[in-house]
Amino acid sequence: MSMSASMRKKGWTRKQKRLAVIAGLGLVLALATTLVLVALRDQIVFFYSPSDVISREVAAGQPIRLGGLVKDGSWVRDGQNNSFVVTDGANDIAARYVGILPDLFREGQGVVAEGSLGPDGQFQASNVLAKHDENYVPKEVVEALKASGEWRPEAGQ
C-alpha cells in the first residue's frame, strides 16, 4: 500500500510517476527473487540411492528421497506397520513406513520413499511413491541402478 501515499500528492511529473512504478516493480521482483533463492536453499530435497546415503554420510533427520528397488523377501507387514529394504544392488537401507503402501508397491520393483534417517540408521518413510503404471521405474532409480551396475532394462521397462 506504499502507493497510496504517492497518489494523493499532486504535481508528480510523468517521469516521477514512471520511476515510482518501476521502483514498485523492482521491489516485488527483488522480493520474489529472494524468496525463490531462500526456498531453493532450504526447501529442496535431495535424491539419494542407498549407496549415496552411506557414502555421503547423510545426517539423521535430514529430509531426503531414497530410491532403489524393494529387496526381494524383505517386505514385512504387521497391520499398518511396514518394513522393507531399499537396495541398489551395492548397498541396502532398511526402511519403515506406517500406513497403506501404494497399489504397485512390490518386491523387486522400483520405489521412491520420502523421509529421513532415524537415529538407529533406519529410514523412516513419511511418504512412499510408486507410480500407477506397471512398467514404471522412477528416472532417478534408473540412474542410481545404472550407476551401481544393477540396471537390467528388460526387467525394468
Partner 1 sequence: MSIELGHFSLILAFAIAVLSTVGGYAYWRSGQRIALVLRQGAVLQFVLVAVAFGALIQAFVVSDFSLALAVNNSHSLKPLIFKISGVWGNHEGSMVLWILILVAFGAMVAAFGRRLPNDLMALVLATQSLLTAAFAGFTLFTSNPFERVLPAPLEGNDLNPVLQDIGLAIHPPLLYAGYVGFSICFSFAIAALISGRIDQAWARWVRPWTMLSWTFLTLGIAMGSYWAYYELGWGGWWFWDPVENASFMPWLAGTALLHSALVMEKRNALKIWTIFLSIITFSLSLLGTFLVRSGILTSVHTFASDPTRGLVILSLLALVIGGAFFLFALRASSLRQGGLFAPVSREGALILNNLFLATAVGAVLVGTLYPLVLDALTGTSISVGAPFFNLTFGALMAPLLLVLPFGPLLAWKRADIVSAAQRLMAAAALAIFVAILVSALGGVALSLAPLGLLLGFWVAFGAVAELIDRSKLGRIPLAESWRRLVGLPRTAWSTAIGHFGVGITVLGIVSTTAWETELVTTLNPGETATLAGYTIAFDSFEQVPGPNYLSDEGRFTITAPNGSTRQTMADRRTYVASGMPTTEAAIETYGFSQLYLQLGEPLENTHVVRVWHKPYITLIWLGTILMALAGVLSLTDRKVRVGAPRRAAKPVAEPAE
Query: Under the rule (CB under 8 A), what is the footprint of partner 1?
Result: 1, 3-4, 6-8, 14, 17, 20-21, 24-25, 28-29, 31-32, 35-36, 38-40, 43-47, 65, 77, 79-80, 98-101, 103-104, 114, 129, 131-134, 138-140, 143
What is the smallest separation between the CB atom of 138 and partner 1, expressed in angstroms? 6
Q: Are 117 and 59 in contact (CB under 8 A)?
A: yes
Nearer CB in complex with partner 1: 103/120: 103
Dist. CA 71–CA 61, nearest whole Å: 24
The single residue listed with the C-alpha cell 519403515 is 96
Instruction: Count the alpha carbons within 13 Å of 73 in the hemisphere toward its beta carbon.
Output: 0
Tell me the torsion sign for CA atoms 144, 74, 131, 115.
negative
Of 53, 127, 128, give the one whose Cα is nearest residue 92.
53
What is the smallest separation between the CB atom of 143 and partner 1, expressed in angstroms? 7
What is the smallest separation between the CB atom of 104 and partner 1, expressed in angstroms? 7
Nearer CB in complex with partner 1: 63/149: 63
Nearer CB in complex with partner 1: 6/124: 6
Q: Are 110 and 69 in contact (CB under 8 A)?
A: yes
Dist. CA 120–CA 52, nearest whole Å: 18
Nearer CB in complex with partner 1: 5/119: 5
What is the smallest separation between the CB atom of 98 and partner 1, expressed in angstroms? 6
What is the smallest separation between the CB atom of 72 and partner 1, expressed in angstroms? 18
Dist. CA 126–CA 120, nearest whole Å: 16
Nearer CB in complex with partner 1: 75/94: 75
